[in-house]
Chains A and B, each alone.
Chain A
Amino acid sequence: MPVTPPRSLTELFLGFLSIGARSFGGVMPWAHRVIVEERRWMSPEEFTATIGLCQFLPGPNVGNASIVLGKKWFGLKGSIVAFAGFFGLPFVWVLTLAWLYSDFATQPGVKPVVIGVAAAGAGLFIGTAIKLAKPIARKPAALVVIAGCFIAVGIGRVSMLIVIPVALLISYFLARRGLL
């Protein structure tokens, strides 16, 4: 199946707009659907490689992908257009929702529902952590780093400004010795 990069900035903008606008319950599946399946801007392999980079970099994955892909196709202009297309609608919607909610929050019965949603969202984080841990859990050193980060950040509430540099340094040496 032939892939054709977007021909114009308008096409790029509309593609990322449709990713942002439809991404209920997670952005990544929609990014894949629009970029690879609907618009066929790139092959699945290229898409996976780009996402691999964006997961490695700090920042929102698909937000970074909009920067990387926009640059690849149209340079700096492309990055700005793709980023604006991606964030535009969700930003407006989420603020509208929050504004409506602030009127609505005092109604009896609303808070428990929202707190329940947040607890389920917390569970999604834990589920994500478990899924990511599966392929690396055979290595004892990996389990030690996972536990160390969890105890320091989750329970000890130590600042990440301290934990991240220390953890990266230790992990780097462990990885070089083939322990990770």
Chain B
Amino acid sequence: MSLLLELGLYFSVLSLLSVGGMPSVIPEMHRYVVESRGWISHTDFVEMFALGQAAPGPNVLISSLIGWKIAGVPGAVVTLAAMCGPAAVLSYWVAGVWERLQGTPWRALAQRAMAPMVVGLIGSGGFVLATPGGAVDWRLWLIAAASAWVMVATKLNPLWMLAGGAIAGAILL
């Protein structure tokens, strides 16, 4: 019970920090559940991330997979509810305010201030996932770099990059 409570509280905080969506909080989630609490291993984390990316649906479901790995189905329900709940309440409340701020300088200012931070956080997410325990494995970096390049250079559905990663993994790893 106390584990579920801790998961719920922690993911509620993450929910409010997740500017830029799920990718921004991946490094923090990894830091906490793998490095700080040691609930699951880096490999577990990476496996759940891969499943969450490959399955249809919003990538916030990665958090429910992490919750499932830590505390079974109750863990999955609690983490998803905690990850979505506070942000959902905020959205519900802010929706009206935002419409009224349309075209005001404050709104443009807030968006400009947030953009570089989100870029830094999402880049960190990619780095942490491809660098297990801070150790450089050139094969993982090669797969990640190829997939990043295809994403920037083409308009292919990301599923192709994930499929390419599967094939490269089978050959290289």
Contacts and interface: CB of A to CB of B under 8 A. Distances in A.
Contacts of B149: 123, 127
B53 to A, nearest CB: 4
Contact of B120 (A89, A111, A149, A175): A149
B56 A125 contact: no
Interface string B11-24: 00101111111111
Given A59-B84, A91-B64, A164 B147 contact: no
Contacts of B52: 94
B54 interface: yes
Contacts of A72: 95
Interface residues of B, number: 103
Interface string A114-154: 11111111111111111111001000011101111110011
B95 A115 contact: no
A91 B121 contact: no
Interface string A33-62: 000000000000000010001111111111
A93 B166 contact: no
A129 to B, nearest CB: 4
B39 to A, nearest CB: 16
A114 B117 contact: no
A68 B52 CA distance: 25
Interface in A1-56: 20-27, 49, 53-56
Interface of A: 20-27, 49, 53-64, 67-68, 71-72, 76, 79, 83, 86-87, 89-91, 93-95, 97-98, 101, 105, 109, 111-133, 136, 141-143, 145-150, 153-155, 157, 159-161, 164, 167-168, 171-172, 174-176, 180
Given A57-B94, A119-B139, A125-B129, 7 more contacts: A24-B157, A105-B47, A122-B126, A123-B161, A127-B148, A127-B150, A164-B17
